[in-house]
A = this chain, B = another copy of it.
């Protein structure tokens, strides 16, 4: 009987006072066809469950390369559902002997979780150039503060896999070697600002496809 009474009244409650709030922003799935803004992409319309789901980290990345490693991102560009939510992810696959070279993420801190194998990881502080390193086994986590140089490499005898999460939807990835050698920054300038020898610079420029 309470039920019978409740029915018509709650329904009117349902449709009346809260119907005006249709613009509430619970989330803002990126419309990648629009220009980005400093706070992220404009929100797409017509959102479904699939927008909050990403399958692209399920498969191992291809580590058949010299570094024997692959970084598979789930940043806003690949996974638009993280837009505006302050988080994103990536998968690391590192074969035996493989390495994710020294790099920074200019726009996020990183939290690494080892799901397979053994990873040696480290980061370097800016003030005192102190090195913080750990050997990480399956189930271990390590955090790398935003903007600091860090690296990971396989420290074991089998493939290593890690999930990494970032404190922003678009963390960026600046690999030092690429920044120095994989572009047209003249060798003389590279040498001047790094104190590296000319032969070293030209060698790595050649390897990484840089010019100048």
Residues on A lying within 8 angstroms of B by beta carbon are 3, 5-7, 9-14, 16-18, 20-28, 31-32, 34-45, 48-50, 52-55, 57-59, 61-62, 64-67, 69-79, 81-89, 91, 99, 101-102, 104-111, 113, 115, 120, 122-134, 136-149, 151, 153, 163, 165-168, 170, 172-180, 182-185, 189, 192-197, 200, 203-204, 206-209
User: Can you name the residue of chain B whose Cβ is closest to the Cβ of A109?
Assistant: B85
Chain B residues whose C-beta falls within 8 Å of the C-beta of A125 in the assembled complex: 24, 26-27
A18 touches B66 (CB 8 A): no
Chain B residues whose C-beta falls within 8 Å of the C-beta of A82 in the assembled complex: 111, 143
Known: A24-B77, A195-B177. A52 touches B207 (CB 8 A): no
Known contacts A9-B67, A149-B180, A196-B200; 11 further A-B pairs (Cβ under 8 A): A9-B65, A23-B77, A25-B170, A50-B134, A54-B142, A86-B86, A88-B111, A106-B146, A146-B147, A149-B179, A176-B176
A195 touches B167 (CB 8 A): no
Residue with the greatest number of chain B CB neighbours at <10 A, chosen from A79, A130, A145, A148: A145
A145 touches B85 (CB 8 A): yes
A37 touches B26 (CB 8 A): no
Chain B residues whose C-beta falls within 8 Å of the C-beta of A37 in the assembled complex: 28, 37-43, 84
Known: A28-B37, A52-B134. A89 touches B65 (CB 8 A): no
- A-B contacts, 15 listed (Cβ < 8 Å): A10-B67, A11-B209, A20-B72, A21-B173, A23-B76, A23-B77, A38-B39, A85-B145, A101-B193, A124-B174, A129-B182, A153-B193, A177-B194, A177-B195, A196-B196
Chain B residues whose C-beta falls within 8 Å of the C-beta of A74 in the assembled complex: 141
B24 touches A134 (CB 8 A): no
Chain B residues whose C-beta falls within 8 Å of the C-beta of A166 in the assembled complex: 87
B58 touches A137 (CB 8 A): yes
Chain B residues whose C-beta falls within 8 Å of the C-beta of A207 in the assembled complex: 3, 6-7, 10-11, 195
